[in-house]
A and B are shown apart, each in its own frame.
Chain A
Amino acid sequence: MSGHSTYEPKTGFERWLDVRLPIIRMAKDTAIDFPTPKNLNYWWTFGGILAVCLVIQIVTGVVLAMHYVANSAMAFNSVEHIMRDVNHGWMIRYIHANGASMFFLAVYMHILRGMYYGSYKAPREVLWLLGCVIYLLMMATGFMGYVLPWGQMSYYGAVVITNLFSAFDKVIPGVGTAITTWLWGGFAVDNATLNRFFSLHFLLPFMIAGVVGLHIWALHVPGNNNPVGVEVKSKEDTVPFHPYYTVKDGFAILVFLLLFSWFVFFAPEAMGHADNQVPANPLATPTHIVPEWYFLPFYAILRAVPDKLFGVLGMFGAIAMLFALPWLDTSKVKSMRYRPTARWFFFLFVAATIGLGWCGGKLPDDVVLPVGRDAVTGEATGFTVVMLSQTLAIYYFAYFLVILPALGLFEKTLPVPENISTPVLPKGGAAMPSGAAASPEKKG
């Protein structure tokens, strides 16, 4: 798909540059002419949305860093100073804080899109793996960013997560403790921890930007997957990226920005937690420590396992599943449109993950379905949040480790269309009026 460039340098300068650094050629080939399947639906707009999110986080983050003070005695007040005294500081900070949530919302849509339409299958495994790396870096960035305002949740979130590594003391005594001490830069979460988190929180987004470059490169070699999951067969199956997808993505990005702005301007604290407005206090543990919403499913898996070490392994394993997905799914059919059974297991998977997220926000011993009462205390007993988390976590892992590998072997799939154009056209006729794709702006 890539390779045959249509760029013709027009001016003398362009010709001069083209033989030295063909950067205009590259831009035209990848962002203007790039042949893109014509049947992409709105689930495909999240890629562009994610790029916008990354730029927004970097721009607002760099400005915040001009005023923020990474010191355990001053961090909280410096964020308040940004909110009160810096010109439009409240806006920059609320865009950044809500931007993290919007970023994760978009990445989850993007990942689920890939899972439903089989975008991880050959020849796109490397593309998928790079996406998983981006997601991992995003989680590290989001976690460390949340620590920076140094409120109660910042502090105790950092304590809980860094302490997880002490579980490795069970494997080799002393190693876990050594890791936590190394992470903290001391013997507790303190000023040194805050400073390194700031340094890394500043660095990682630029590493994400680098991996995004590789991700797009790996996209442009095989080209886009599409809702029918059949590879592009001819020119009739595609339209040039510009103006077709610039305008479609542009529309989706604007709708996304409307939602984003609603949070920033009218509900800026909706996704925050009241406890994080209280300055960090190592002597007063909050009654209920919860991470941000986008980590809740993994937090639920962590707490579902009674053993700390296996809880930690379960949590990381849940993310590792994504990396292994291309080799776990044995089906030859990409799109779940033609996989009637897999489809239902997929929807169940989405429901289970949302359910895990819900569990992650509750106390483990909360009762979900009361069955009886405790004889001594009189408290309701029955099916608890932990039990629900366990049930859902088992399904989460089974989906990757049992269902997808097995289904590919047994499932009776529906007939897959010949090519992209067939299911799109009313009677499978001619692809489109000739010339329509090449210069739509000149028609009418």
Chain B
Amino acid sequence: MQFGQSIQTKLSGLIAAIAVGSLALLPVAAHAKTNEKEPMEVHFSFEGPFGRFDQAELQRGYKVYAEVCSACHSMNLVSYRDLAAPGGPFYDPKHPVAPAQSPYAKAIAEQYKVPDIDPDTGDTIQRTATPADHFKAPFANDAAARAANGGALPPDLSVMARAREGGPAYIYSLLLGYEEPPKGLTVPAGKYYNPYMAGDMGSYWTGAKTQIPEGGFIAMGKQITASRVQFDDKTPSTVENEAHAVATFLAWTADEHQVERKQTGLAVMLYLFVFTLITYLSYRRIWRNVAH
């Protein structure tokens, strides 16, 4: 490449960089209707390409879900056998191929009764769940769920960690974020103030319009309290440990194959990298006699 050309290539790169950079720097006074707080700075073992789920924490998180959240929230996309699949909370290398055969999955499923139809009589019955069944939902339908929750529908938690900006950090922050509503804010009946929740509180605020507090109202009361769940591995039942564990568990239910995905990814990247290198060397060799 000639001197002039390469200067020009660099210049065009520089210009593009400046253009993009200056756009990013534009002072943005975003005045969206909602202004919730950014999720707390909280770290998880599964962050980054090398991060992995902590299996003990997944088990603790399952316990928080089973003992607390499952009273209101369904988890329709997850089945009991998933718990024992590779990467799951109760995976046991002794039962690698068929998670449905796992004694853990069987033992957990057997604690639940799920609705079914009796094949002989056609009557609706309740039978013991099997590992292939999806998590038993707390309510028969959405209307029943609303009726029991003051009109609000507790959303299904299967993909919750993917369905909110911030994911597990958001869930953690929301669960621990409950605080006294600021003076001047009228909280409607059956609702709670939470600075991490999105919402428009303008009409409930008596103070200056420029000082509407961060956050919104949520129809779920504070669920995570100290010693709410006794962990089997003697981890102290602090609010932080409980919230962190359930956020981890929900990150797994939303992304069951995460560990497999990252492991495959490392192998793919390594393969591609070596292949790219070899191709580059071939390129240099093939073109070595051609001025271009």
Contact = CB atoms under 8 A, between A and B. Distances in A.
B5 A337 contact: yes
A269 interface: yes
B289 A440 contact: yes
A432 B291 CA distance: 7
Contacts of B82: 84
Contacts of A84: 77-78, 82, 256-257
B289 A368 contact: no
Contacts of B275: 254
Given A90-B261, A287-B33, A350-B16, A426 B291 contact: yes
A120 to B, nearest CB: 19
A355 B286 CA distance: 41
Contacts of A436: 289-290
Interface stretch (A4-12, A47-55, A274-282): A274-282
A274 B164 contact: yes
Contacts of B292: 38-39, 424
Interface in A168-187: none
A287 B163 contact: no
A363 B32 contact: yes
Interface string A99-124: 00000000000000000000000000
B268 interface: yes
Contacts of B159: 80, 277
Contact of B279 (A247, A275, A278, A423): A247
Contacts of A432: 289-291
B32 A243 contact: no
A354 B18 CA distance: 12
Contacts of A369: 26-27
A84 B256 CA distance: 7
Contacts, number: 161
B279 A250 contact: yes
Interface in B183-219: 198, 208-210
B291 A424 contact: yes
Interface residues of A, number: 67
A13 interface: no
A91 B261 contact: yes
Interface string A333-373: 00001000000000100110011001000110111111001
Contacts of B262: 265-266
Nearest to A440: B286
Interface in A25-77: 38-39, 77
A350 B18 CA distance: 12
Given A264-B265, A368-B26, A254 B77 contact: no
Interface in B265-292: 265-266, 268-269, 272-273, 275-276, 279-280, 282-283, 286-292
B8 interface: yes
A217 interface: no
A51 B288 CA distance: 27
By Cβ-Cβ distance, the 3 closest A-B pairs, closest first, are A265-B265, A351-B19, A378-B210
